[in-house]
Amino acid sequence: MQGFWTLYLIVFYHSNTLETWAGDRREGLCFVPTMGALHAGHLLLVEKAKATGMPVLVSIFVNPAQFNNPEDLAKYPRTTEADLMLLHNAGADAVFLPQAEELYPTWLNGIDLELGGLERVFEASFRPGHFEGVVKVLHRLFSLIQPTDVFFGQKDLQQCLVVEKLIAAHFPKIKQHNIHTARDRMSGLALSSRNRRLSEEGLKRAGAINWALQLALQGTTVAAGLAEALQYLEKNGIEVEYLDVVSLPDMLPTTEIKDGKTAAVFAGYLEGVRLIDNRIYEDIPELPLF
């Protein structure tokens, strides 16, 4: 006898219907917040969420509050139809597609959150207001949905650390899962929605970021590793905004490398596209193949 499967994906456009659905799932609900333009990295988050056996809700919202550059916001890829298809195939249970007015009603106040210095370094210093915007939208989404588990990609390492602070201060019952960065199998380039703005040649050259981060962690000294990494990025035409080796979870520059407690972090530009990546020391499975 032949059988067939029917998959469903519930799409919520309004917070009131979403709140009712989520309210019936207080015992266990996984939430994956995204800005859409989904790729295998997002699908890995959905896969990890599904592995818990709990229902999985994904949100797609390009959050204007976290963009300090209006051109970057305008160019951010929007591919909702394709995203819904991918989420359907990945087995997500529901998707929330809110409008800005829905998430930012006029009565909404700023969120009081102590970030312990994370608000001053790296992404925060190059993108003023970015984390305030991230915290604002996540506080709103977590309050509406009240998930038990939330999933974030480790590619945005500083964001993961900021979310840890948000959860500890305002949502102590939520369990946060930081999922390893999905990478291109050949080049090791971290998957990102922004990669689709790179040319074929750019995509190949951007692979240098992953190798540079590994070089930074494997020099005879941290300074030597960083110098080698910088040279390698420049040779590949990548304009560096920051490249450093930091201790975790405070993200302060360090000269000491400790397993799981040290990361190399990078942001820069290639073909006018801003890319970020990081490697945590314990992540590196083997010496790079040059």
Give catalytic residue positions: 42
**Any idea of the CA torsion for 63, 174, 275, 35, to the nearest 10 degrees?**
-30
Find the part of the chain contacting ligand PAF (CB under 6 A) among 30-38, 76-84, 164-172, 247-255.
30-38
The window from 28-36, 75-83, 110-118, 278-286 that contacts ligand PAF (CB under 6 A) reads: 28-36
Q: How does DSSP classify residue 111? A: P
Question: What are the structure tokens assigned to 268, written together?
Answer: 């820069």
Q: Which is nearer to ligand PAF, 136 or 279 (CB)?
A: 136
Question: With respect to ligand PAF, which residue has the nearer C-beta, 141 or 189?
Answer: 141
Q: What secondary structure letter does DSSP report for 216?
A: H
The two structure tokens encoding residue 123 = 């992404």
In the complex, the smallest distance separating the C-beta of residue 141 from ligand PAF, rounded to whole angstroms, is 8
Buried b (16+ CB within 10 A) or exposed e, 70-92: eeeeeebbebeeebbebbeebeb
Strands 175-179 and 262-270: unpaired
CB of 229 to ligand PAF, least distance (A): 25
Based on CB atoms, which residue is closest to ligand PAF, 115 or 137?
137
The side-by-side arrangement of strands in the sheet containing 30-34 is 10-12, 94-96, 56-60, 30-34, 149-153, 175-179
Residues between 150 and 169 that touch ligand PAF (CB under 6 A): 156, 159
Asked if 130 and 271 count as a contact pair (C-beta separation under 8 A), the reply is no
Closer residue to ligand PAF in complex, CB, 170/204: 170
Pick from 29, 43, 92, 137: which binds ligand PAF (CB under 6 A)? 137
Q: In angstroms, what is the minimal distance from the CB of 36 to ligand PAF? A: 8
d(CA 209, CA 214): 9
**Count of residues touching ligand PAF (by CB under 6 A):** 10
Q: Judged by CB under 6 A, which stretch of 27-35, 101-109, 245-253, 273-281 contacts ligand PAF?
A: 27-35
Q: Angle CA(98)–CA(176)–CA(193) in degrees, nearest 5?
A: 50
Taking the CA atoms of residue 21, residue 27, residue 28 and residue 34 in that order, the dihedral angle to the nearest 10 degrees is 50
Q: Which of 6-14, 131-139, 165-173, 257-265 is the region at the interface with ligand PAF (rule: CB under 6 A)?
A: 131-139
With binding defined as CB under 6 A, does residue 63 bind ligand PAF?
yes
List the one residue from 22, 29, 30, 35 that touches ligand PAF (CB under 6 A).
35
What residue ranges bind ligand PAF (CB under 6 A)?
33-35, 63, 66, 134, 137-138, 156, 159
